[in-house]
Structure 1
Amino acid sequence: MRVMHGRATHGVRGVGSRVLGTLGAVALTASLLSACGSPEEPPAEAGATSSSPTPEQSSPSPEPGSEETGTSSPSASASAEGDDAGEAAGDSGDDGTDEPGDDAGDAGSSDDEQPGNGNGSSQGDDRSDGKGNGNGNDKKDDEPEEPDYIAFGETSDRVGDLQQRLQDLGYFVTSVDDSFGGETQQAVFALQKAGGLYRDGVVGDATKDAADNGVVPQAQTSSGKVLEIDINRQLVLAVEHGRVVKIINASSGNGETYQAKGNTYTAYTPRGSFAVYREENRMYSSSLELGDMWRPKFFTGGIAVHGSASVPAFPASHGCVRVSNSAMNWIWDTWGAPSGTPVVVY
């Protein structure tokens, strides 16, 4: 049985089954729940630049497509998504569904052998008199084997070990409670993105190895307090003087065009160097009537980092950068990021 950092692994108290669904399809059907980009927002800062550093690590494996399946659980009670206006065609918002995929090939199973009765009959016999039944098959306890993956819904000590390891590495996990819920799934997404792994939210061998080996993204800035947004890997990093202090799963613009109030927009998240210029400490409604967003921090036009109840492992917004509601609360209440905080998008 595998031992993760910090805690010994014990027996599984319950293993949740993996639920199948289509990530890509769900994200598209929900794509108009919220938005960023409205002609009423003030323009971006004149000093913003379009250049950006190149990530040190390679891009992740292809995004889960229509074949990926799963379910998701929101990390916070507030429902969120949507954005205000931007000045460019890149103005946008957020939407999609946060659902784990299926870690095909990771799942393991076992079938208990059914002993015969030793006389050539097809009828099996599970009874034992303590002396053996003469057929050479000693019946073992009927305890189910622990699966070789960890997935959404499981409650066990090994989930607690995983949560502790993720927390130690800086991934956004607030509670080590042995229960694989939405927050743990978001952290697993982030780990898989950082390691260039398939983003299904299921902890198979490759994801376990990434956690054991301490895989974390590297900061692209070296001084000050900066909110970094890695578009290629769909991550938000809270960085202090070149040190990554928190790694958060994110979902940005999906590149699709959409209609709002008779106009056509492109779901695009601009790259460059910006700064938080406006913040709304509340549930904020999009003026394009595309939905709501939780506690947004705008950094260019109508584009903001904000909380959402739906943060999938792939780009799904209309241009804003979505994180979980609990992660947005952490940015506001613990880390800060007040107006003027640099935001670097690459």
Structure 2
Amino acid sequence: MLKVGSRGEAVLALEKRLAELRYDVGAVDGRYDQQTWQGVVAFQKYAKLKRTGTYTLETQEALHAAILPEGLHPELGLPRIEIDIKRGILLFFDEQGLNRVIAVSTGSNRKYCETSKKSGERICGVGHTPRGTFRIQYKISGWRESDLGKLYNPLYFKDGYAIHGSPSVPAYNVSHGCVRMSIATSEWFFGTVKNGTPVIVFG
């Protein structure tokens, strides 16, 4: 079993295998850090395994037999972004095909009432991520303060809904409606994805 904090050749082999299948593990350096954890979780989500982030025997067997993930909406062409809410993953396709599979956390579908970080007013709603076909409308570099918290490198695809970096990206859907990814992933994602890129949200 490998987990956060593990190091060595076994971790390096794991990272190489995940990267080969386009899962985002960050640096392939033999260190099981939080970004490696995100990559393992993304694979577990895609393979419909327990979302532990730990490299168990079950995960090892599934990874050994795994093939390159496939998108469900090729009709949108290239490039495109597919967000599978049930699985909790984002598939990013560039002009050449599948670029990366990313673990994300979307709307919790739970009611919330919180005090706005900007206005101080009470805001209530349901943590719902909109389904449908959209496009990246605009991007904001760095941190942005929203009513419900801070967003890092947000890419807006519908009204105030964005794909953005967050310090907290658990294995399950817990957001107010945005699509969270790790801070490290958002660094390259923001710089790579262009305005106008099609986004389909389903599940």
TM-score by length of 1: 0.54
Question: Are 1:285 and 2:145 counterparts?
Answer: yes
Deviations 1:49-95 (A, max 9, x none): xxxxxxxxxxxxxxxxxxxxxxxxxxxxxxxxxxxxxxxxxxxxxxx
1:315 aligned residue = 173
1:63-142 correspondence runs (5 A): none
Amino acid at match of 1:246: R
Please state how far the C-alpha of 1:204 moved relative to its aligned partner: 1.1
Task: Provide the rounded CA distance (Å) in 1 between the counterparts of 2:72 and 2:141.
Answer: 28
- Asked if the contact 1:226/1:240 (under 8 Å) is kept, the reply is yes
Deviations 1:253-298 (A, max 9, x none): 1011112423321100011000111211120001x2x321101001
What 5-or-longer segments of structure 2 have no aligned partner?
A: 115-120
Question: Are 1:187 and 2:39 counterparts?
Answer: yes
Please state how far the C-alpha of 1:301 moved relative to its aligned partner: 1.2
Q: Which has the higher contact order (CA 8 A, sep 6+)?
A: 1
Runs of 4+ in 1 over 3 A off after TM superposition: 240-243
Please state how far the C-alpha of 1:173 moved relative to its aligned partner: 2.0
| Structure 1 residue matching 2:87: 3-state secondary structure | coil
1:302 aligned residue = 160
| Structure 2 residue matching 1:212: 3-state secondary structure | helix
Decide which structure has greater strand share.
2
| Structure 2 residue matching 1:307: 3-state secondary structure | strand
Q: How many residues align?
A: 194
- Asked if the contact 1:225/1:241 (under 8 Å) is kept, the reply is yes
Pick one of 226, 249, 255 that aligns with 2:80.
226
Deviations 1:159-192 (A, max 9, x none): 1110111111100023121111101000000010
Question: Are 1:337 and 2:199 counterparts?
Answer: no
1:149-298 correspondence runs (5 A): 149-222=1-74, 223-240=77-94, 243-260=97-114, 261-286=121-146, 288=147, 290-298=148-156
Please state how far the C-alpha of 1:196 moved relative to its aligned partner: 0.5
Task: Provide the rounded CA distance (Å) in 2 between the counterparts of 1:188 and 1:332.
Answer: 22
| Structure 1 residue matching 2:83: 3-state secondary structure | strand
Q: Sort the Cα spacing of 1:216 and 1:317 in 2 relative to 1 into closer, same or farther, 3 A.
A: farther
Specify the structure having the higher radius of gyration (Cα).
1
Task: Provide the rounded CA distance (Å) in 2 between the counterparts of 1:304 and 1:326.
Answer: 17
Task: Provide the rounded CA distance (Å) in 1 between the counterparts of 2:48 and 2:96.
Answer: 22
Please state how far the C-alpha of 1:241 moved relative to its aligned partner: 6.1
Decide which structure has greater helix share.
2
Amino acid at match of 2:69: P
Deviations 1:190-224 (A, max 9, x none): 01001100001111111001221124432122212
Task: Provide the rounded CA distance (Å) in 2 between the counterparts of 1:215 and 1:182.
Answer: 24
Task: Provide the rounded CA distance (Å) in 2 between the counterparts of 1:255 and 1:296.
Answer: 21
TM-score by length of 2: 0.91
Task: Provide the rounded CA distance (Å) in 2 between the counterparts of 1:325 and 1:173.
Answer: 13
Please state how far the C-alpha of 1:243 moved relative to its aligned partner: 3.3
Deviations 1:26-66 (A, max 9, x none): xxxxxxxxxxxxxxxxxxxxxxxxxxxxxxxxxxxxxxxxx
Q: CA RMSD in A?
A: 1.4
Task: Provide the rounded CA distance (Å) in 1 between the counterparts of 2:129 and 2:96.
Answer: 23
